[in-house]
Each structure stands twice: as structure tokens, then as C-alpha cells.
Structure 1
Amino acid sequence: MSEVPRRAPTGNALFRPRITSAITEAVLEELAAHGYARLAMEAVARRAGVGKSALYRRWPSKQDMVIAVLSEFSVPLADVPEGVSLREDLESVLQALHDWLTDPHVATILPDLTAEAVRNPALAEAIRTTIGEPRRALGTAVLLRAVERGELPADLELELALDLLAAPVYWRLSVRHAQLEPDYFDRLVEHLLRALDARPTPQGQAHHNSVA
């Protein structure tokens, strides 16, 4: 018996991912071009080439739309592969943070969104719970792995340590708008290891020596 050929997907099954991708890009572009306060659902729909109903089927408001898109874009960038040592993990974390902050969309959107959050407590809370907390949770996992390996003390102050990881790169790139020297991350990792009272394990030290 001959096999019945499968029909190629049509209609919504074919266009839904494409529409979602177009909307995501349109939200980022509208935010970069006009800022959060002046962003309009109509403009996003027009740029994406869809009707407003396509937006409202996904999100009930502008805030929900913006936070969902930024979360989907931002949170995965904080998820770094597990290395064999805290040093290697810190290098990955800092590189991931650099890549996020220097993304053309984020570099334009983040200052405006930060300022808007000062004026809009509901937006600030949405950013904190939907973007900030998930990114910090991924950073927490990196630090807890180091605690389990014996590289960091068991009484590590996690919240303070997380601030310490992100602050130098954010300050350098987003506040000072300064360039990073070629050895910036190497020097920063050395400072972070000392500040966190890191204790290299034999495995981590062997790996560091092999690549030094």
C-alpha cells in the first residue's frame, strides 16, 4: 500500500511562528525608535504587518507585550553553560552580560526603560519579576555550583555577590559608555575572585593552569 503523502502546513499552522517573530522584532524596533511612553500597539501592528487583534490575542496591554518580548529576548542570554571552575563560569557570565548590554536593541531600549520604570511602579515591578528575577536566578545557580564545588564559602551573601558580578560591566557600558580593554574581563575576574573569597579546587586550578 502506498503511503498517503502528508499535506504541507497551511494557514495559522504555517504563519503563527512567522507572525510572532515579526511582532517581536517590531516591538524592539518601536521601543528603540520611540521609547516606552510613546510606543503604541497600532504602530507595532503596522510595523509587523499584522492587525491589532494579533497583538491583543497574545497580550492584554502594552506593558504585558513589552515585558513578554523583552523577557523572551533577555532571560536566555543569562543562561551560560556550566564550566569546570568558578573562574570559567565568571568569564561566561561576564561575556553574556556584555553581549546583552551591547546588543543594538538593548543598548537603546534599556536607558529609556530604566527611566520609565522610575515613573511607573507597575512597570518597574513587572521588569523586576519577569526579567530581573529570572536573570538573577540563573546567576544564583552559577554561584551555588561554586559553593558545592568548595570554591566559594557556604555563607556567601548571594544577593550582594550577584550585584557585584553585574555592576562593573553595567556601569562601564551603560553609564560611562566606555570601551572595554582587551584584558578587561581577565582583570575583572581576578578582582571578583578575591572579593568573593574564592578558593580554587584542584580541578579548577588544573584547568586554569592548562589555559594560562
Structure 2
Amino acid sequence: METVAARAAVAKTTIYRRWKNKDELLVAAIISLRGEMPGSPAARDLRGALIECVGGMRQMHDDPRYIRLVPRLFGVADSHPALYREYMDQAIRPRREIVLQVLRRGVAEGEVRPGANLNLAMDMLLGPVLIRSFRSAGADSPDSGFSDLDPQELVDAVLDGLTPR
């Protein structure tokens, strides 16, 4: 906290007025790298809305500062559960809820079969973006066997498993 206060050229008490502890400050810093919370996708059709969600997440994960921090945050979930919960509550769950709303709308409009596991579908949509960002933050070279992530191709593959049969 002293280093942050010094770099910001403010007193440490100023930092503590806004954030109770360094965990809260860290979560706020990571969230600031994510940018503003997206609203509902502009596209009204299921496919277009999901492509927009995946594309937005992919773009966010292109920030090298973000991809250096997030794997570390996931790595301290056991040793710093409050920090991890705070990050999940402020950054992950609200964005997942947007995708879940899109999928629920797909069920209501008959584009997704009733009873489909929407949480699994969401993981299938967002997981490839996350794993690629983790890999790019590590020692793996970009050409190590992973294909480029095409949001349209990913959404089409997931929707193939969700459509009514």
C-alpha cells in the first residue's frame, strides 16, 4: 500500500479511504484492466449475441497486463479465498450472467433445447478464451498446436450441441 500511495503521490490514508486492504485494491486494479462492464449484446439473434460476447471477452484477454495478472489470481484461490471471491463477485459473475441471459433467451425463443445445461454451454464458450490467455501468459509459444480462436467457429460448434433435436 505504501508503494501504491507513493506512486499515486497521495497519503496512505487516501488509499485506505477507498480500499480497506490490499486485496480490495488488487481486485479493483484487475477490474480496471477489464474495462467497463458490457451491457447486453446489441445483436438480437442468439448466434450474433454469443459471437459478440465471445469476441468481447477475447478482446479483453488481449491486454497483456490483464493476462499476466489473472492466472496468478486463480492460482491464489486456495491461499487467499476472500480475494478470489471478491474477484469472482465483481468481475466474473456479472459477465457470465450476461452470457447466461443470452442463452436463456435462446431457450425461450426455441433456439436452444429446453433442459440444455446452460452453465456447461457457457463454460464451453468462455473456456477456450480463458485457456488461450493463460497459455499466452506462460512459456508456450503461440504456434504450439492451438488454433486461432474464431468466435464464429466457436459459437457455431457450441450451438450445434444446443439446438433442438
TM-score range, shorter chain: 0.7 to 0.9
Task: Return the match for 2:151 from 158, 166, 185.
Answer: 185
CA RMSD of aligned residues (A): 2.4
Label 1:81 to 1:194 Cα distance change in 2 as closer, same or farther (>3 A): same
Label 1:145 to 1:73 Cα distance change in 2 as closer, same or farther (>3 A): farther
**Structure 2: which amino acid aligns with 1:144?**
R
**Structure 2: which amino acid aligns with 1:53?**
T
1:125 corresponds to: 85
8 Å CA contact retained: 1:77, 1:96:
no
Question: 1:1-212 to 2 correspondence within 5 Å?
Answer: 41-71=1-31, 73-74=33-34, 76-175=36-135, 178=142, 181=148, 184-197=150-163
> Taking structure 2 as the reference length, what is the TM-score of the superposition?
0.81
Label 1:172 to 1:69 Cα distance change in 2 as closer, same or farther (>3 A): closer
**Structure 2: which amino acid aligns with 1:104?**
P
Label 1:64 to 1:198 Cα distance change in 2 as closer, same or farther (>3 A): farther
Report how many residues are paired: 158
Kindly state the Cα deviation for residue 55 of structure 1 after the two structures are TM-superposed: 0.8
Relative to its length, the structure with more helix (as a share) is 1
1:17 corresponds to: none
* SS of alignment partner, residue 57 of structure 1: helix
Q: Point out the more displaced range, 106-115 or 76-85.
A: 76-85
- Bigger Cα Rg: 1
Label 1:71 to 1:172 Cα distance change in 2 as closer, same or farther (>3 A): closer
8 Å CA contact retained: 1:80, 1:92:
no
